[in-house]
Amino acid sequence: MNMPAQTQTIYTGDQIQATPVISQLNVADLEPGRQHRFFFEAVQMGTGQHWYVPVVVAKGMQDGKRISLTAGVHGDELSPVNAVQRIMASLDPAKMSGTVLAVYDLSRPAKEYTQRNWPTAQGGGGLIDLNRVWPGDIAGEDAPTRHAGLIWHQLFQPNVDLALDYHTASTGDDFSLFIFADCRQPEIRQMAELFPVEQIKDDPGEEGTLEMAFIQADIPVMTIEIGGPRRFDLPKIEKTVEGSLNVLKHYKVIDGAMGHTSKSAGTFFGNSFETIRATAGGFLELRVDLNDPVTPGQEVAIQRNSFGDIVAKYRAGVAGEVASIARDALREPGARVMRILYNSEDIRT
């Protein structure tokens, strides 16, 4: 459902923990030179109350790029929250040009239970991945789709020139410090190269993701994966903050010397995944770990049954680097064992 750009910030008149509640945002009418905190009034629950999304806006003294930082599209992704908090705490709006919009805990009910997907009550209950329904629809058939529609049309679309979307692996899995970026677009590739990450995948995006919604709206965006879920991975968080501040410096939102980038980090670039899935049920023993280089035919994992017998062996089919792995040892048939990032040209910066 298309909606026109909104022209003003609308305050509902409510406050939560002394924080004003808004139902739409226009950063242009906020006072410059300071940070503003809001709760955004999003979709209703079945009881008629609302889910409220925390929003922080750092409004610079001068005009400039409007950059969004999003954390919590999935409820088990915690390192992104800490990374965005650190970025916002480092900003001095009185010395900024442009605006930084931080949106936390987008999937509020999932975050309350530290679970990946949004729990719904209809039809006896179910789980919906909020990162498969963007840009949403305020008249959609379920609450998460309506929730995404409200956030997209009344928070993001009118206020964002470029976006950084922070994630982690799902519960039971782990990720390197990794970026998904549509490197066919020079501006997006340039942003990605400002991060001292371990791996970057040239990736066109997936329908329904927040990343794809921004791409389809001609807003440069990339997805940053900060390791594993349900914890703070401090080394990866620190590098994520450094890369994010590099982006703000590149667009002259803040001043300062550039930090480490993909060039100094020796980032591995690829454009494809080989996904290895379990062919049997059993207990997984990994022979490799994140970022390890692999070659075709190399044994990367085995699986044993409850008697300790080997029931499956898994080998790499490509030359590349391990990007994500299963941390939960028990794997059902079809469950993902690992993803190997590869590129036929084995490009490095």
Shared domain check, 250 and 276: no
Among 269, 302, 147, 145, CA closest to 201: 269
| Residue 1 is assigned to a structural domain of this protein | no
Q: Report yes or no on whether pTM surpasses 0.85.
A: yes
Give the span between the Cα atoms of 169 and 157, in whole angstroms.
26
Q: Is it the case that residue 256 has pLDDT exceeding 90?
A: yes
Q: Of 232, 265, 298, which residue is a domain's last?
A: 265
301 and 215 within one domain: no
Tell me if residue 14 falls in helix, strand or coil: strand
Same domain flag for 132 and 261? yes
> Is 299 inside a domain boundary?
yes
Helical H runs in 228-291? Answer: 234-250, 262-265
Q: What is the pLDDT of residue 348?
A: 44
Tell me, yes or no, whether 257 and 280 share the same domain.
no
Which of 249, 265, 281 delimits the end of a domain?
Answer: 265
How many helices and strands (H and E) does the chain possess?
A: 7, 22
Same domain as 280, residue 209: no
pLDDT at 2 over 60: no
Q: In this predicted structure, what is the pLDDT of residue 216?
A: 97
Chain mean pLDDT for the chain: 96
Is the predicted pLDDT of residue 186 greater than 80, yes or no? yes
Same domain flag for 106 and 182: yes
Residue-wise pLDDT tens digits, 61-87: 999 999 999 999 999 999 999 999 999
* Nearest by Cα to 340 from 277, 267, 263, 261: 277
Q: 347: pLDDT confidence band, cut at 50, 70 and 90? A: very low
Statement to judge: residues 224 and 80 lie in one domain: yes
Chain-centroid distance, C-alpha 250: 21
Q: Which CATH number does the domain housing residue 289 bear?
A: 2.40.50.100
Are 55 and 203 part of one and the same domain?
Answer: yes
Q: What is the pLDDT of residues 259-298, one digit of tens each?
A: 999 999 999 999 999 999 999 999 999 999 999 999 999 9
The reply to whether 25 and 72 lie within a common domain is yes
Q: Does residue 124 form part of some domain?
A: yes
Residue 2 in any domain: the answer is no
Residue pair 284/303 in contact by the 8 Å Cβ criterion: yes
pLDDT of residue 21: 98
Does 143 fall in a domain? yes
When comparing pLDDT for 347 and 87, which is higher? Answer: 87
- 237 confidence band (pLDDT: 50, 70, 90): very high
Whether the pLDDT of residue 7 is over 80: the answer is no
Question: How confident is the model over 202-235, as pLDDT tens digits?
Answer: 999 999 999 999 999 999 999 999 999 999 999 9
In-domain check, residue 136:
yes
Q: Where in the sequence is the domain holding 146, given as residue range(s)?
A: 10-265
User: In whole angstroms, what is the distance from residue 218 CA to residue 191 CA?
Assistant: 15
| Stretch 315-339: mean pLDDT | 98
Specify if 5 maps to a domain. Answer: no
- The CA distances from residue 232 to 155, 225, 238, in Å, are 27, 13, 10
Same domain, 50 and 150: yes
Angle at CA 16, nearest 5°, toward 10 and 18?
A: 95
CA proximity to 276, closest of 223, 316, 306, 217: 316
Q: How many domains does the chain have?
A: 2
User: Could you report the per-residue pLDDT of 127-176, keeping only the tens digit for each?
Assistant: 999 999 999 999 999 999 999 999 999 999 999 999 999 999 999 999 99
One domain, residues 252 and 277: no
Over the range 102-114, which residues count as b (16 or more CB within 10 Å of their CB) and which as e? bbbbbbbbbbeee
Task: Give the residue from 265, 285, 314 where a domain finishes.
Answer: 265
Record the tokens describing residue 269, joined without a space.
């670039």
Q: 203 lies in a domain?
A: yes
Q: pLDDT tens digits for 301-312?
A: 999 999 999 999
Domain CATH for 77:
3.40.630.10
Same domain, 172 and 194: yes
| Contact between 134 and 205 (Cβ < 8 Å) | no
CA distance 80 to 88: 12
| Helix, coil or strand: residue 24 | strand
